[in-house]
Amino acid sequence: MSKKQTSQKQEKSTVPKEIISIEVPWYDLNNYKKYSIKFRFGISILVFLVGFLLYSNTINHGYVLDDSGVIKDNVNVQKGIKGIPDILKMDLWELSDVKLGYYRPLSLITFAIEKEYFGNAPHVSHFNNVLLFAFSGMVLFWVLQLLFGKYNRWIPLLATFLFLAHPIHTEVVANIKSRDEILSFLNLFLVLFFVLKHIQTRNWLWLIPTFVFAYLGMLSKETALTGLLLVPILFYIFNKSSIPQSILKSIPIALAIFFFFVQKKMALGTLSAVIPNDIVNYPYTTPHVEGSFKIATAFYLFAHGII
């Protein structure tokens, strides 16, 4: 061995480990790949079963609260599949003589399909609510595993179990009408999942479903909009994209939002609501709830809901 080769070998062996080691940033989504497909599949099934079993006791319940207004007393839902074209043109509470500007046809369409094949069967509707909630928990786990799986593969699982078991979801799952909330959450997190898969694989095909699920999320409940606005932030933080690039990659989401509002305008004739003078539907219109008292009441109701 020549002196030159010996010298190069010695130089190579004396390089400190900390110099040649590369620390992987916490937002590197490729760390998700280190968990086997068998593990991810098994845990996903476990999450689904836990979510389903937690609310399986609601399957034998009947119609409650707003269920009658959107199902039994909704003539378009009672038409079954034939009523879907009319559902696509109506305010959620239009047939109850209240126009709040709520355009949420997707859940009503699912109720119409249930009516077509099962009649007015609350047990079927409750079963589907539980099924959708369990699947939503599974999608939530996928998203959390992509985001935080590098630290510990059990942390996303525990966070998902906490979400599924939290009693704040009781009304949403047990009240059939609140399927709009479940569908909104489910479609929103499917959007986030496909966005993160695009960031992980750099494959643009993953962005195609984001348009579909963003559109379905908006058709479920308008509050999906607040979650969809997180998509450019995800691109900016996790994909290291510039602000213009982040906005460009969010075009499918923007198109879905745009088409939704166009459709709502065409269906309802307006994007605004007719605020009723009704303390039940809108407590801020009563004479004693004005100015600063109105703002204080809003904060109180919000705080009461989360505490």
Q: Give the pLDDT confidence of 77-96 residue by residue, as tens digits.
A: 999 999 999 999 888 776 66
Is 117 exposed, middle or buried, given 0-12, 13-18 or 19+ CB atoms closer than 10 A? Answer: exposed
* pLDDT score for 27: 45
* Residues with Cβ within 8 Å of residue 35, at least 6 apart in sequence: 145, 149, 153
pLDDT of 82-139, one tens digit each? Answer: 999 999 988 877 666 666 778 899 999 999 999 999 999 999 999 999 999 999 999 9
* Cβ contact 129:58 at 8 Å: yes
3-state secondary structure of 279: coil
pLDDT band for position 274 (cuts 50, 70, 90) = low
Structure-block tokens of residue 237: 């933080």
Cα-based distances in Å from 189 to 18, 62, 72, 242, 300: 39, 29, 30, 23, 29
DSSP state of 202: -
Length reported for the chain: 307
Q: Tell whether pTM > 0.85.
A: no
* Cβ contact 71:176 at 8 Å: yes
